Structures are given as structure tokens and as C-alpha cells.
Structure 1
Amino acid sequence: MSIEILSSALLSPVRHGFFTRKGGASSGVFAGLNCGTGSSDQKEIVDINRARVAKAMDVAQLARIYQVHSADVATIDGSEDGLEKADAMVTATPGVALSILTADCQPVLFADRMNGVIGAAHAGWRGALDGVLENTVEAMIALGAARDEIVAVIGPTISQRAYEVGPEFLDEFMSADPEHGRFFAQGNGDRYHFDLPAFGLSRLRNARIADAEWIRHCTYSDPARFYSYRRATHHKEADYGRLISVIRI
């Protein structure tokens, strides 16, 4: 099975891809293109999968970070020796491919085509609430991007119908801003359904960038194409794979 890469016309002609799980060498619960070095999958197999992604992006290696659900952004120039703890990356260095891992959280790819600056963010609810998307925009501007030239695309992420949360989750968002109530729908009993991609789009649009979109693929609802932390938890699986999203100048 060949690798499957989802893309967006909004980022074109910048080379990018939201990779599905198809076309990888992993097996079992990881079956497919598991690129998660933090998973319990065999390291050699994960390395093979990542090499396939790098080849598809026409680069020797993929720049990566140690994701910790923060709002921190790393500036990458290709000379880094170790992994920086952060949840977003930006670069203006040609040939550097930024890669983000997700398994329900939002992978967000950014580009300013005119000024040659790109970004990639891992935006779960915590990072998005704390400002990782806005911080990525600001870090791109620090490298020479123009706010009104930046576009952003949210890749496969968990949809509202699959994202059930409790009242304490709602309380945290409402205490930050009462307007956040519009991202929640009433579920059964005291449960709610949170619209993560709509929240991400709202944060991006409030950052006053040129345009933003979600490609409308739900990770939870399509097990043949996507890994999902929440689905794996519901099925009581021992671990789960990680999807990779990549952008390069």
C-alpha cells in the first residue's frame, strides 16, 4: 500500500502533507505509518516509516521537537543537535522540513509564501487555550513573515461529535473566557462535546492572519486512515500510533 498524503490548496505551492496511516511498515495496533518515536512500536520500524515520509518530502531528515502540550515555539535553522521541548516550530531556512506528531490533537501547518517563512504546531486543547497558535504566528513574524500573508491549515483532528468531556473541562474554558461556551454542545447527563477544530480556527482568525481552514477529517471516526488516542483508550488498546504532518520551504 502506498503512502497517502492529504494537502490543502490554501498552502499551495508550499510543499506540505498531512500523512495518514496508510503505507507504513508498522503492524498490530500501530499498523501503518506510525511515526511516533515515543510509542512502544519498534524503533527500527518507526525509523523506516519516518524515512518514507522524508523521501516523500524530498529531504534527508525531518526536523522535530519534544512535544509537551505547551504554548512554546522553537525556531529551527537545521543546525540543532538535540530535541527542544516545544509544541510548534518555525523556520525561514530553505530545505528544512518541520514535522509534527498527533493522534487527535490538531496538526496545524502555516506558510507565508511571499516571505518564505513556514510553521507547524501541535495544538491540543491545552496548547490551543494557552496560545500556541498565536505564538506560532508571532514567531513567524519575528523571522520576517507578514501577518496578512500568513495562511494556516488544520489537518486531521478529533471532531466535536467524538470529543466528549466533563464539566470540569467546560469550567476551565469558561473561566478563561465566557464566550468559549459556543464551542460546547450538551451531551448526555453532565457531559459535553467540545469542538476542537472550531476553537482552533477561532484562535487563528483572531490572530488576524490572511486565511485559515480545517480540512475536515476526523481522526476518531476513520480508523482505516488515522490513529486516535481517544479511540485506542475506548478500545482498551495498549498503545496507539502517531500521525505525522510536514511542511517545508
Structure 2
Amino acid sequence: MLEIITSPLLQPIRHGFFTRKGGASSGIFAGLNCGTGSSDLAEVVAINRARAAEAMGISPAALVTVNQVHSADVVTVTTPLPDRPRADAMVTATPGLALAVLTADCQPVLFADPDAQVIGAAHAGWRGARDGVLEATVEAMEALGAVRTRIRAVIGPTISQRAYEVGPEFVEGFIDDDRDNARFFANGKGDRALFDLPAFGLHRLRGLGLADVGWTGHCTYSDPERFYSYRRTTHAGEADYGRLLSAIRL
């Protein structure tokens, strides 16, 4: 049985932040690993993606993903993509297509303007969020007829502050951008700090003047039964990790 987290902010647009439950993968990937870039068996990943597509009411070919590279690049999608372009966000006004991003601690962000029937999806890790992928997604939605004061955006399961330890050079980069970014860091052990990625994402989204923004409140690191986590895998010394899928469709 698949487990799909939804948000009332995005209703009535069909969407879901999938957990790892209900998939065909085994071992360290056990569950719904949808990452074609993982070392999991390709045919098993295809089964998992097909299950997610069925849950979204579409064919596997209509489940659109990109080659995520931690950029601020956005693709406007009008048909299924035969090749996955290098980008980290997508927008569409085409019914029947589901925009999907893959994450394992980074923020999956789903956007919708139900009145204009325009949607978006972004993969927003610290680098993408800092470089403007959220802002670029909203601008691309506007180019399709969306109005930002009607757009709603929701951050799905992501790593929370208590699990996100970073070094002083990481903090300095954010402070150099904006001194007010200090609010997103708490003191850790020694010279380490704890970064609040979802709070930073919400801050960037709120600065766009959208209708409403939110976070589902789920931490990927602290709930291994439900979520994959790159950082948890690294700490455990495991060879690879699964990827969670988040999708939205018209």
C-alpha cells in the first residue's frame, strides 16, 4: 500500500508527496525507490515509478522528471519528455502530465494556481534554494498565465534543522548573501552549526508574495521507516540511498 502525503493548500489540484512505503525495492532501497540515478535495479525502479504514476491517474510516460543538478533552471513542459533535460524545476499548463521531483533530504516543492490551471514542481536543496530555483519556478508559472497572488506552494518532507549539521564556511556563504540569514542557523557542537532548510525555503517563498505557503512538517532524516535520507545513509556508511518522489498534475 502506497503512502501519499497531501496538503490542503494545494487542493483541488491532484498531488502527492510519496513516502518509501509500498514499493518493490529491497535491501538498502527497501520501498518505493523512484531514483533512476541510484544503483537499485532499473526494472524495479520502473515498477515503483509505474505504481506512483498509477496513483496519480496517469501512464508512466506522463510522469515527467528531469536530470536534477542543484541549479535554478526551470523547464516548461507541454508533452512527455523523451530525454530528461538538466534542470531542477518544471512548470506546465497541460492536463494529463504529472511533474515530479526526486529527493532524499532536499526540499520537494509543489506549486499550483488552480484558477489559471498552472502547476510547478521544484527540487530545492540548499544550493538551488539559495540560487533562486523557487523564484524562477514562480516566474515560469507566470509566463504560462499564473498570477503569483493566487499561487500556493508546499514544501514536502525534507531534512529538519536538528539533523542538518554544517561547517562554518557553509554559514559564511549564507551570511555573505544576507546578514539576516543568520536566523536560519543554530549553534551545534564546536564550530558546527545547524541549518534550518525548510525555514529558509519558506522565507524565500513568502518573499514572493504568494497566496499561501507551507511545509508538511516531515523530517526525512529522523523517520527511516517512511523516508530516504542521503545524510542518514552517509552517517550509516551505506553504499547508496533511495529517492522519494513528489508529484503534481492537472
Rounded to whole Å, the distance in 2 between the matches of 1:214 and 1:66 is 24
Letter in structure 2 aligned against 1:224: E
* Matches for 1:51-130 after TM superposition, within 5 Å: 51-61=50-60, 62-130=63-131
How does the TM-score come out when normalised to structure 2? 0.98
Letter in structure 1 aligned against 2:25: S
In the alignment, which residue of structure 2 is the partner of 1:240? 241
Rounded to whole Å, the distance in 1 between the matches of 2:80 and 2:230 is 32
Query: What is the root-mean-square deviation of aligned Cα atoms in Å?
Result: 0.5
In the alignment, which residue of structure 2 is the partner of 1:26? 25
CA contact (8 A) 2:64 2:80 kept: no
In the alignment, which residue of structure 2 is the partner of 1:38? 37
Alpha-carbon distance, 1:81 to partner: 2.6
Letter in structure 1 aligned against 2:78: D
In the alignment, which residue of structure 2 is the partner of 1:170? 171
Letter in structure 1 aligned against 2:50: A
In structure 2, list runs of 5 or more residues that go unmatched.
none
Rounded to whole Å, the distance in 2 between the matches of 1:64 and 1:196 is 23
How does the TM-score come out when normalised to structure 1? 0.99
The percent of aligned pairs where both chains have the same amino acid is: 69
In the alignment, which residue of structure 1 is the partner of 2:225? 224
Q: Tell me, what secondary structure is at the counterpart of 1:238?
A: coil
Rounded to whole Å, the distance in 2 between the matches of 1:67 and 1:59 is 22
Q: Please give the per-residue CA displacement for 1:2-50, whole angstroms capped at 9, x wherever unaligned.
A: 0000000000110000000000000000000000000000000000000
Rounded to whole Å, the distance in 1 between the matches of 2:8 and 2:21 is 22
Q: Once superposed, which parts of structure 1, at least 4 consecutive aligned residues long, lie more than 4 Å away?
A: none
Rounded to whole Å, the distance in 1 between the matches of 2:82 and 2:194 is 41
Letter in structure 2 aligned against 1:180: N
Q: Please give the per-residue CA displacement for 1:42-83, whole angstroms capped at 9, x wherever unaligned.
A: 000000000000000010120110000000000001153311
Aligned residues: 248
In the alignment, which residue of structure 2 is the partner of 1:188? 189
In the alignment, which residue of structure 1 is the partner of 2:199? 198
In the alignment, which residue of structure 2 is the partner of 1:157? 158
Rounded to whole Å, the distance in 2 between the matches of 1:187 and 1:80 is 43
Letter in structure 1 aligned against 2:111: F
In structure 1, list runs of 5 or more residues that go unmatched.
none
